[in-house]
């Protein structure tokens, strides 16, 4: 399961773990999560944003809160469709 932690006040988003919805390299849920994660990274400016990527882990902090909200909307849809593979936790 991939757990995504989102703090809209910072803003910050962390992706942890692997979806486990299919064979490695052919997992459609992992592909969707990766696309959302890389879209977030691409949409934010290079300067003033902390980024850390490793196998099964990504942490992004800083930049426009609106960009994170768009990604969070996609994550909510994905978590609703695949609750056994994606968990989105939003800090309030």
Is residue 92 very low, low, confident or very high in pLDDT (cuts 50, 70, 90)? confident
Which tens digit of pLDDT belongs to each residue from 35-70? Answer: 999 999 999 998 999 999 999 999 999 999 999 999
Q: What is the pLDDT of residue 17?
A: 94
What pTM, to 2 d.p., does this model score? 0.93
Q: What is the pLDDT of residue 73?
A: 98
Give the span between the Cα atoms of 6 and 60, in whole angstroms. 10
Which tens digit of pLDDT belongs to each residue from 17-34? Answer: 999 998 888 999 999 999
């Amino acid at each position: 399961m991939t757990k995504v932690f989102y703090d809209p006040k910072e803003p910050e988003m962390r992706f942890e773990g692997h979806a486990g919805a299919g064979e490695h390299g052919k997992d459609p849920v992992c592909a969707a999560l990766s696309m959302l994660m890389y879209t977030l990274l691409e949409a934010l400016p290079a300067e003033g944003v902390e980024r850390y990527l490793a196998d099964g882990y990504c942490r992004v902090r800083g930049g426009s809160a609106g960009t994170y909200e768009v990604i969070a909307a996609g994550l909510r849809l994905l978590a609703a469709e695949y609750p056994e593979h994606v968990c989105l936790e939003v800090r309030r």
